[in-house]
Amino acid sequence: MAGSRLGQWLCLVVCILILLKAEGASIPITIVDSAVSSGALCLDGSPPGYHFEKGSGSGIDNWLVHMEGGGWCESVESCVSRRDTFRGSSLKMEKTMGFSGILGSKQAANPDFYNWNRIKIRYCDGSSFTGDVEAVDPETKLYFRGGRVWQAVIDELLAKGMQNARNAILSGCSAGGLAAILHCDKFQSLLPATARVKCVSDAGYFIHGTDISGGSRIESFFGQVVKTHESAKNLPASCTSKMNPELCFFPQYVAQTMRTPLFIINSAYDSWQIKNILAPTAVDSKKEWKDCKLDLKKCSASQLQTVQDYRTQFLKAVNTGLGSSSTRGLWIDSCYAHCQSGSASTWLGDKSTEVGDTKMGKAVGDWFYDRSAFEKIDCPYPCNPTCVSVDSES
């Protein structure tokens, strides 16, 4: 009897392992050891890492490079607090990771990209892969080297075959989605001139917005990120040559001069932006927005109007940045969400969110392959019954 039960348990374990492998749940981390010599290091001085699932069949020469998100550290103090976590050290990162959504390996769930070379670059620098400070303080032992980290990983991928890419996408979520915009043209310049190269930013279109106090704390915050990490040298020169480099951390100013086609996946009511750009805790001393920020259904009538006005700010910033470019793609929903491309349930699932009767996975695929343009902006909250709850920063 005991032997029979043991056999059943072993069978169950094997089945689970097979299922996990089929879902891409055991993709090992690759540490870029060669990055040490160039000083391309995480905040704690450890080498960076990424997860890589090789392409196959018709996708063997196609590359999708996705950058992880996870906020920023704008000061020495905040960078020290994340230095010894998985946001600042490859030593603290999980050794395996599953892929889904835009990185998914199942044809039915990701028909356009399932058999591409798919990579997720881990985020360990706190600057959207833009920092580059040579000096290292012996007391804090902080390495501000995000720009070098990005280059080191890309160089390794180029050597592994991306230099011969036929199709390529640079994408990311949240801080990684911002990085996809900031590094887009550089990424394109490193690939063959004959390749189709485009960029996809998910929840990365952070706007230069006005908060509930009438100020813009996000401007000072991003400014501090740029100063602390000395990011200006790695921000697009097409932007920094025209305005204060600290403003070139905002997509609406960078996108104006981008050459590479860009697709924006974003909620007009992005939950991170509502919580941190519109109503940051620092300007809500009485915590009047606490409940509203957790659930828009709990907003008062006046608060909801302020939220609707933020949508107007957001859409204006999108049009300021991308204008009427014929190569732009837009999938702007009205869900209270943040980062929607990384999950099978939101990318192209049976019950995934739709904008203009179209799920984001289909919209991005059609746009990338030039099957059809896609520029859809959802109606105002709370009009969309297909919304799926998502609030992630990676």
Please tell me which residue, 393 or 125, carries the higher pLDDT value.
Answer: 125
HEC string of the chain?
Answer: CHHHHHHHHHHHHHHHHHHHHHCCCCEEEEECHHHHHHCCCCCCCCCCEEEEECCCHHHCCEEEEEECCCCCCCCHHHHHHHHCCCCCCHHHCCCEECCCHHHCCCCCCCCCCCCCEEEEECCCCCCCCCCCCCCCCCCCCCCCCHHHHHHHHHHHHHHCCHHHCCEEEEEEECHHHHHHHHCHHHHHHCCCCCCEEEEEEECCCCCCCCCCCCCCHHHHHHHHHHHHHCHHHHCCHHHHCCCCHHHHHCHHHHHHHCCCCEEEEEECCCHHHHHHHHCCHHHCCCCCCHHHHHCHHHCCHHHHHHHHHHHHHHHHHHHHHHCCCCCCEEEEECCCCECCCCCHHHHCCCCCCEECCEEHHHHHHHHHCCCCCCEEECCCCCCCCCCCCCECCC
* pLDDT of amino acid 14: 42
pLDDT single digits (tens) 319-335: 999 998 889 999 999 99
Whether residue 68 contacts residue 394, with contact meaning beta carbons closer than 8 Å, is answered with yes
Of 353, 359, 358, nearest to 390 by C-alpha is: 353
The Cβ of residue 15 has, within 10 Å, a number of other Cβ atoms equal to: 10
Statement: residue 68 has pLDDT above 60: yes
Exactly one of 171, 174, 201, 271 is catalytic; which is it? 174
Residue 51 known to be catalytic? no
* pLDDT of amino acid 17: 40
Structure tokens at 304: 């909801």
d(CA 292, CA 171): 31
Residue 211 known to be catalytic? no
* pLDDT of amino acid 20: 41
* pLDDT of amino acid 25: 62
Confidence tier at 3 by pLDDT (50, 70, 90) = low
* pLDDT of amino acid 393: 57
Exactly one of 44, 132, 202, 270 is catalytic; which is it? 270
| pTM of the shown model | 0.93
Statement: residue 10 has pLDDT above 80: no
For CA atoms 259, 379, 174, 210, give the dihedral sign: positive
Beta bridge partners of 200: 171, 263
pLDDT single digits (tens) 90-112: 999 999 999 999 999 999 999 99
Statement: residue 5 has pLDDT above 80: no
Structure tokens at 298: 């709990």
Residue 338 known to be catalytic? yes
Confidence tier at 16 by pLDDT (50, 70, 90) = very low
pLDDT single digits (tens) 142-196: 999 999 999 999 999 999 999 999 999 999 999 999 999 999 999 999 999 999 9
Exactly one of 66, 208, 229, 338 is catalytic; which is it? 338
* pLDDT of amino acid 390: 66
